[in-house]
Amino acid sequence: MADYSRLALLVSDSERAQEAAEDYRQLADWVPLEDADAAVVLGGDGFMLQSLHTMLYTGKIVPAYGLNLGTVGFLMNRNRRADQLLGRISRAKPHTILPLAMEATTQDGAVVRHCAINEVSLLRETRQTAKIEVSVDDKVRIKELVCDGVLVATPAGSTAYNLSADGPILPLDSQLLALTPISAFRPRRWKGAILPDRSRISFKVHESQKRPVSAVADQKEIRDVAEVHLEIARESALTLLFDPGHALDERIVSEQFVF
């Protein structure tokens, strides 16, 4: 059993999470995130992503144990009796997730870098379809993808936007990435690709002035991009803690049998 003696409590602004936090605040001597060796996150998947991005931004990365006080709760554990929390954390199973590192160059030459835990998506900004060149490991694989957009999803994010765009669900330990088109017009029959997570993926926007494209790394959007380069950020590994029997890899398998 892991011993997390210094815990931080991170609470979303939702009314439901704020009300639940009153019970949890009495359980421990909570410490700021910068002094913690694990974090308890109260909220939904969106707030968990926000909390993980805070860790990436500050450089203080600790295991995160989420309690679902949102809607889907794919990255969270069930919210049960507050007095069981410390025992549940000590028995929780760690799962490592690797974010994507995105480097985007805009039409005016600015370079912007962000990490994405779920996916990086390129999306058309106007009614004009986007025209995007797709390269993998410095080799052009599609000279011109005509589409509404295209995305690259991690296993942790494969059941989010990627699944809605008819992309594949990836097991957490698969060491794969999903490259998924969004409403592809040409090549008409291209449904995407599954790539090793060591791949370097690049996109170049054609006719970028006429057909502007934005790049979105989880919740961060960069407008009017010209090129986007992606690879796994192995130095920024994150850890989620799950109750036994409710781990993320089991949820990924279960999601494929929901009708």
pLDDT in tens, 84-118: 999 999 999 998 999 999 999 999 999 999 999 99
pLDDT at residue 154 in the model: 96
Q: What is the per-residue pLDDT for 258?
A: 67
Topology at the third CATH level for domain 100-233: Tumour Suppressor Smad4 (2.60.200)
| Over residues 159-164, mean pLDDT | 92
Mean pLDDT of 110-127: 97
Q: How confident is the model at residue 189 (pLDDT cuts 50, 70, 90)?
A: confident
Catalytic member of 3, 37, 45, 137: 45
> For every residue of the chain, which 3-state class applies, written as one string?
CCCCCCEEEEECCCHHHHHHHHHHCCCCCCCCHHHCCEEEEEECHHHHHHHHHHHHHHCCCCCEEEEECCCCCCCCECCCCHHHHHHHHHHCEEEEECCEEEEEEECCCCEEEEEECCEEEEEECCCCCEEEEEEECCEEEEEEEEECEEEEECCCCCCCHHHHCCCCCCCCCCCEEEEEEECCCECCCCCCEEEECCCCEEEEEECCCCCCEEEEECCEEECCEEEEEEEECHHHCEEEEECCCCCHHHHHHHHCCCC
The CATH 2.60.200.30 portion of the chain extends over 100-233
* Residue 245 pLDDT level (bands cut at 50, 70, 90): confident
Q: Which residues are annotated as a binding site for NAD(+)?
A: 45-46, 118-119, 148, 156, 159-164
Tens digit of each residue's pLDDT (9 = 90 or more) over 228-243 = 999 999 999 999 999 9
Q: How confident is the model at residue 152 (pLDDT cuts 50, 70, 90)?
A: very high
In the chain, ranges of CATH 3.40.50.10330 domains: 7-98+237-255
Q: Mean pLDDT in the chain?
A: 93
Give the pLDDT confidence of 9-21 residue by residue, as tens digits. Answer: 999 999 999 999 9
Query: What class is the 7-98+237-255 domain?
Result: alpha beta
Q: Residue 45 catalytic?
A: yes
Looking at residue 65, its pLDDT comes to 97
